[in-house]
Amino acid sequence: MTSLRIAVTVLLSFRLALPLLAQNPQPPAFDVASVKLAADETTRIEGRRIQTTPNTLTTRGLSLRACIEWAYGMPARIAGPAWLGDVRLDIVAKTARPATDQQLYRMLRTLLIERMGLKTHVEPKEMAVYALTLAKGGPKFSASATEGPEVTRQERGAIVIQRATIAELAAELSGKVFDRPVIDATGLKGRYDIRLDMAAIMAANKADPSDPAGVMMDALQEQMGLKVVARKAQVDVLVIDRAERKPSEN
């Protein structure tokens, strides 16, 4: 009877715990990962410092701050110590199954928490932003006719984005093209296929290649029907509470 009572108690405890387990799933993580301080030779390598395939994520001399930006998708909205830009990492991480870029970046977040002791919180803050608004004449792009995750690629001087929300487009532009956060103020809720022919814009407008933000503003308005407006708004800021200068042992 005692054994039966114990078994029933364990079973009931497990059933009561199921909702909690569902609410707190394990964060996605790489199956194998190496995190090291960047070697001198990798910090001198030119080109893109973060690369992905369906099964891997690799960084070469990428700063810890940039790693956090990719992992949290919050460029230009990070508050933390200045040395985050000085610590550079070589990361080689692999998954057992194919994953999207967004899934890989979420795994990178888990990796930074585990290996760099990263602790963060989000708090709202009013700051200067750029807002994407609808220009006169409305949007010049179509709703996506296919299913699947958002995908971005470069194609002969053009940026091609498939199945993206305007909020995702704004996130792509934040801190990478523009020097401040970009927010979606269009009111559009769907997913869209977008093509920005940067080469055509530069040729037609004789744009200054040293001013990528200006070129992008022209492309957004002329090819997408979106206007970039400077304003102040309350946005979420990722605050770095703790981080280590060296990764823990692999």
Structural domain boundaries in the chain: 32-124+236-242, 126-235
Please tell me the pTM assigned to this model: 0.67
H or E stretch covering 167 = helix 166-173
What are the percentages of helix, strand and coil residues in the chain, rounded to 5? 35, 35, 35
CB 27 within 8 A of CB 106: yes
Write the class of the CATH domain 32-124+236-242. Answer: alpha beta
Length of the chain: 250
The string of pLDDT tens digits covering residues 11-57 is: 334 334 444 444 556 889 999 999 999 988 887 777 678 889 999 99
pLDDT in tens, the chain (250 residues): 444 444 433 333 433 444 444 455 688 999 999 999 998 888 777 767 888 999 999 999 999 999 998 898 876 688 999 999 999 999 999 999 999 888 999 999 999 999 999 999 999 999 899 999 999 999 998 899 888 777 777 887 788 888 889 988 888 788 677 888 899 999 999 999 988 887 777 676 665 666 778 888 888 999 999 999 999 999 889 999 999 999 998 7
Q: 91 exposed, middle or buried (CB, 10 Å; 0-12, 13-18, 19+)?
A: buried
